[in-house]
Amino acid sequence: MSASPAIAATPVTNQPRLLYDACPLCSAAEISTLRTGDCSGHPLYKPVVGPTMVWMRCAACGHVFTDGYFTDEVSAEIFSSTNPNQQPGAGFEQNRYLSARIVERVARYVADGCWLDVGFGNGSLLFTAEEWGFEPHGLDLRPSTAQGLRRLGIEAHCADLTTLDAPGRYSVISLADVLEHMPYPGEGLVAAHRLLREDGVIFASMPNYDCAVWRLLDAAEANPYWGELEHFHNFSRRRLYELLDEHGFEPLHYAVSERYRACMEVIARRV
């Protein structure tokens, strides 16, 4: 297991972020500024956030992350609105085919049981998992999204993954574009390990900071992820695998994601 995350510094007045004083993955103090990004064009941008994102790099483990994460007040502002395509049921028929390819891969390792989708968005992955015989459950931080899924007859909770009290209940936990949104991703993996049954798996997807597509986007000055408002981390495949190993997961399958540009998908088993 990795060292406990360092306690964040107290924010100054009007500071939208709680600043990291060490790497949020390995707790090393040797961190430095890598670059900045502009998030003012993001669809969920609010002036309280400020347009400039500052990206840091850890000298010890190489991880890349923002200089801090949002305060509760700023998070509430951001979560007060949702992109239309992330409402439960939105574009389900089109997304069903993409979700089916994900569920088919996961089902090679776990064939049944409760499937918890964290940050389920439009719910497509859960709807499709149900077709394979899984029992769908959703978890999201936006109250309106959780209510929308419940209206469609699926159990859904508005809560943080780390607070969920259901040890060993789930056979699959999907973290589709979730870990990069968490201030301390290791805490999310600790929670997932606790919530999974012994042979359970996680499905995780996120941008891949160390791939040719990322470098080409950078070279063209067209990389959207430096200004991705809700992201606190940019993972490489290597650093993600290290983090999974540190928290009791064995990677089983790697794939290029069809969900977003320059993204990767990993299936890993609880060990």
Give the position of tokens 């399958």: 253
Q: Is the pTM of this model over 0.85?
A: yes
| 120 inside domain | yes
Q: Which residues contact 2 (CB under 8 A, 6 or more apart)?
A: 25, 26, 27, 186, 243, 246, 247
Of 70-84, 94-108, 111-125, the poorest mean pLDDT is in 70-84
Percentage of residues in the chain having pLDDT higher than 90 = 83
| 186 inside domain | yes
What local confidence, expressed as pLDDT, does residue 85 receive? 67
Start-to-end CA distance of the chain, whole Å, equals: 13
What local confidence, expressed as pLDDT, does residue 124 receive? 94
Query: At 107, phi and psi to the nearest 5?
Result: -65, -15
| 190 inside domain | yes
Q: Give the 3-state DSSP-derived string for 101-114, with helices as H, strands as E and coil as C.
A: HHHHHHCCCCCCCE
DSSP letters, 198-233, are EEEEEEEEEEBSSSHHHHHHHHTT--GGGG-TT--E
Give the position of tokens 């015989």: 133
93/198: higher pLDDT: 198
Judge contact between 94 and 102, C-beta under 8 A: no
| 29 inside domain | no
| 191 inside domain | yes
| 52 inside domain | no
Judge contact between 40 and 224, C-beta under 8 A: no
| 65 inside domain | no
pLDDT bucket at 4, cuts 50 / 70 / 90: very low
Number of domains in the chain: 1
79-100 burial code (b ≥16 CB/10 A, e <16): beebeeebbbebeeeebeeebb
Tally of residues, the chain = 271
pLDDT digits (tens, 9 = 90+) for 28-58: 999 999 999 999 999 889 999 999 999 999 9
* Rg of the chain taking only CA atoms, in angstroms: 18
Residue 153 lies in domain: 84-207+235-270
| 28 inside domain | no
CATH (domain of 122):
3.40.50.150
pLDDT bucket at 11, cuts 50 / 70 / 90: very low
DSSP state of 235: B
Which residues does residue 174 pair with via DSSP β-bridges, in sequence order?
117, 203
Task: Calculate mean pLDDT across residues 94-112.
Answer: 96
**Chain-centre distance of CA 176, in angstroms?**
6
